[in-house]
């Protein structure tokens, strides 16, 4: 029997060929990926026509270009998959859950990264040397907060985790989406195999479990966006290897495994430990509810 918490169930009267070529998890993921590439190509051409990517463009225009490439392909491709193939409401992005799960995710993300910084400060790793009152916060919030939060969560949790869970169960969905999320950061500045593994474990598993427990992308988006904004715009720490100007002018000292090195605090064992504690809490909730979707060869 299909788990009632899952968003989509293949229609019982669908012919066999339609089940394989349209409704199967693999088919939907491939279709989404193709739409993502196609819409991304069109979006890139449009922002180029607007001169938002030109050398003479302002920082805000560059940010709007990046935001468009982060948001539009993922949003449109996901909407097509949900409305055209699955033919259902986009419950995971319901506006009714935005005030609760969205704001809750923002608060949780801000507290979570502040806890990471607090531990690093107590260990003598994180140092504040001043403040920057003139930090250009808007482009950073648009790109690292809104763009990365919404775009990456739709791809990694709203499509990959959700659809793999329908086909292979929760454990496979966690493993595959986490590996994908960590691997997607391997080409970032200062990235290493360790930093990608840390991203996969601390963010990939945690956000996958958060979606599983809440069935809301707003919770994941809020946490992801707040984590990035607090990390870069507030605490002045590189966001996944990307250098930023934060309100606090800071530096980190100590061994790379503790400080995170040039990649940022996300590659620190402190972030790994803090996020893993939340992941274990979410897992306990899922196990208590009995919501884990088991692997079944027939699914």
- Residue 296, pLDDT score: 73
What are the residue ranges in the chain where pLDDT is below 50?
1, 298-299
- Residue 298, pLDDT score: 45
Range 91-119 burial, b when 16+ CB lie within 10 A, else e: ebbeeebeeebbebbbebbbebbbbbbeb
- Residue 2, pLDDT score: 55
- Report how far residue 165's alpha carbon sits from residue 299's, in angstroms, rounded to the nearest whole number: 10
Answer whether 116's CB lies under 8 Å from 270's CB.
Answer: yes
Answer whether 101's CB lies under 8 Å from 157's CB.
Answer: no
- Residue 4, pLDDT score: 64
Strand pairing category for 126-131 and 248-252: antiparallel
pLDDT tens figures, 136-156: 899 999 999 999 999 999 999
Answer whether 223's CB lies under 8 Å from 210's CB.
Answer: yes
- Residue 279, pLDDT score: 98
Which whole-number Å values give the CA distances from 141 to 15, 98, 147, 232, 257, in the listed order? 47, 18, 8, 9, 28
Helix H or strand E encompassing 218: helix 217-229
- Residue 1, pLDDT score: 47
pLDDT tens figures, 208-228: 999 999 999 999 999 999 999
- Report how far residue 145's alpha carbon sits from residue 137's, in angstroms, rounded to the nearest whole number: 11
- Residue 297, pLDDT score: 56
Residue whose tokens read 């790379």 = 256
Instruction: Classify 2 as helix, strand or coil.
Output: coil
Domain segments of the chain: what residues? 16-289
The pTM of this model reads 0.94
- Residue 3, pLDDT score: 67
- Report how far residue 213's alpha carbon sits from residue 94's, in angstroms, rounded to the nearest whole number: 16
pLDDT tens figures, 194-210: 999 999 999 999 999 99
Q: How many CB atoms lie within 10 A of CB 175?
A: 16
Question: Which tokens is 165 given?
Answer: 């869970």
Write the CB contacts of 90 (distance below 8 Å, at least 6 apart in sequence): 78, 79, 82, 83
């Amino acid at each position: 029997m299909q788990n009632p918490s899952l968003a989509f169930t293949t229609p019982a009267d669908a012919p066999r060929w339609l089940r394989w070529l349209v409704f199967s998890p693999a088919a939907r993921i491939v279709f989404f990926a193709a739409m993502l590439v196609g819409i991304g190509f069109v979006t890139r051409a449009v922002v180029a026509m607007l001169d938002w990517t030109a050398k003479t463009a302002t920082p805000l225009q560059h940010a709007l270009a990046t935001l468009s490439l982060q948001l539009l392909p993922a949003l449109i491709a996901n909407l097509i998959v949900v409305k055209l193939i699955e033919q259902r409401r986009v419950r995971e992005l319901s506006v009714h859950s935005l005030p609760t799960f969205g704001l809750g995710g923002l608060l949780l993300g801000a507290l979570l990264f502040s806890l990471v910084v607090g531990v690093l400060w107590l260990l003598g790793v994180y140092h504040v040397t001043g403040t920057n009152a003139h930090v250009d916060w808007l482009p950073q919030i648009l790109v690292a907060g809104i763009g990365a939060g919404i775009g990456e969560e739709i791809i990694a949790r709203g499509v990959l985790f959700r659809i793999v869970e329908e086909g292979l169960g929760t454990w496979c969905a966690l493993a595959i989406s986490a590996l994908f999320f960590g691997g997607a950061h391997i080409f970032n500045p200062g990235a290493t195999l360790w930093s990608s593994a840390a991203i996969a474990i601390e963010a990939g598993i945690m956000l996958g479990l958060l979606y599983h427990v809440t069935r809301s992308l707003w919770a994941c988006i809020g946490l992801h966006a707040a984590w990035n904004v607090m990390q870069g715009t507030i605490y002045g720490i590189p966001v996944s290897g990307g250098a930023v100007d934060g309100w606090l002018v800071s530096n980190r000292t100590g061994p790379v495994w503790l400080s995170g090195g040039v990649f940022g605090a996300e590659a620190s064992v402190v972030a790994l430990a803090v996020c893993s504690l939340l992941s274990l809490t979410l897992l306990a909730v899922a196990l208590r509810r009995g919501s884990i979707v088991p692997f079944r060869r027939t699914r």
